[in-house]
């Protein structure tokens, strides 16, 4: 394989050739973002509602619905900078997550900014989780989020703890976008290395989401009582410092946390698992994490 055929280089080149401008026209961004994450061969899924929140359920291939239901549930929150994305548009990652974990994945169609700023998406997460508790014990549920979806998971867990709600059994985050000030060191260090994100774009997206008031910054809040959490991030991401800072904060509050930094990987690299073996391995490790901490066996 020549250097030009390196899968990592090919994915990075494709992202650079078709950049997503989170500071640009939002309708255009949403259309292009849907095309990036949707997969026509994602497998069977169906629409459902969790309370009044729309969602889409993805079942692991080859596993009967009853057996999958006994394996608990993964509540998934898609990427999109808080302003784009959908359950159907993230079908590739959601279905891959179902296959890797052996559990049903319920992808939440949370409300998007700027039409619905914070706390709308976080409150949708709380509503969806409460609805799942009608069918599952908390220890059978995992919360998983990618990019902004990872931020929503953290915000929801903080709200659960403050309200005295029962925590899920585990959490897993991929390239979480939690620093809405975009002030971490990697925003500067990786500015030229990251092929898909810019600080300008993320600041614009964060301003839409926080228009009615920002969520509590996890860097300055207590995260004690969080469930065991696994974090995956690429070394060239401008969001690298978000993951490092969050892992450190969890560790300071005596939460079991595992941080996996993947060399040369792009933002939410498991999206490209069909091309990147690292993406497949990261999904496998998320599955192992859930196997370890959830009370329902896959």
Catalytic annotation, residues: 147, 237, 267
Q: Do 176 and 202 meet the contact criterion of CB atoms below 8 Å apart?
A: no
Residue 255 inside a domain? The answer is: yes
Check residue 69 and give its pLDDT.
59
Count the domains in the chain: 1
pTM equals: 0.95
CB-side neighbour CA atoms (13 Å) of 226: 29
What is the distance between the alpha carbons of residues 277 and 267, in angstroms, rounded to a whole number?
A: 15
Residue 298 inside a domain? The answer is: no
Residues sharing a CB contact under 8 Å with residue 165, sequence separation 6 or more, in sequence order: 126, 130, 159
Which candidate, 80, 78, 88, places its Cα nearest to that of 40?
88
What is the 8-class DSSP label of residue 44? -
Residue 105 inside a domain? The answer is: yes
* pLDDT digits 0-9 by tens, 218-249: 999 999 999 999 999 999 999 999 999 999 99
> Phi and psi dihedrals of 267, rounded to 5?
-60, 130
What CATH number corresponds to the domain at position 223? 3.40.50.1820
* pLDDT digits 0-9 by tens, 8-39: 999 999 999 988 899 999 999 999 999 887 77
Domain that holds residue 215: 3-293
Secondary element (H or E) of residue 72: none
Which candidate, 193, 190, 189, 172, places its Cα nearest to that of 246?
172
């Amino acid at each position: 394989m020549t250097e030009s055929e390196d899968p990592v280089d090919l994915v990075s080149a494709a992202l650079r050739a078709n950049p997503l401008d989170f500071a640009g026209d939002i309708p255009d961004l949403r259309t292009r973002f849907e095309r990036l994450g949707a997969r026509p061969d994602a497998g069977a899924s169906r629409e459902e509602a969790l309370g009044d929140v729309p969602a889409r359920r993805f079942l692991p291939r080859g596993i009967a619905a009853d057996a999958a239901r006994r394996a608990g549930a993964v509540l998934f929150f898609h990427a999109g900078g808080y302003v784009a994305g959908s359950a159907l548009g993230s079908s590739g990652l959601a279905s891959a997550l179902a296959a890797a974990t052996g559990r049903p994945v319920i992808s939440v169609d949370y409300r998007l900014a700027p039409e619905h700023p914070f706390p709308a998406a976080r409150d949708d997460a709380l509503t969806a989780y409460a609805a799942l508790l009608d069918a599952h014990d908390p220890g059978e549920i995992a919360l998983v989020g990618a990019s902004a979806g990872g931020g929503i998971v953290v915000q929801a867990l903080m709200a659960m703890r403050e309200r005295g709600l029962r925590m899920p059994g585990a959490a897993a985050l991929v390239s979480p976008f939690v620093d809405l000030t975009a002030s971490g060191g990697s925003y500067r260090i990786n500015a030229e290395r990251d092929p898909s994100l810019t600080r300008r774009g993320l600041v614009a997206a964060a301003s839409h989401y926080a228009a009615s008031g920002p969520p509590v910054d996890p860097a300055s809040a207590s995260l004690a009582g969080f469930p065991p959490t696994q974090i995956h991030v690429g070394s060239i991401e401008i969001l690298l410092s978000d993951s490092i800072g969050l892992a450190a904060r969890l560790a300071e509050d005596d939460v079991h946390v595992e941080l996996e930094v993947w060399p040369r990987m792009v933002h939410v690299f498991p999206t490209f698992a069909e091309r990147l073996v690292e993406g497949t391995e990261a999904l496998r490790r998320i599955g192992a994490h859930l196997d370890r901490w959830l009370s329902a066996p896959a």
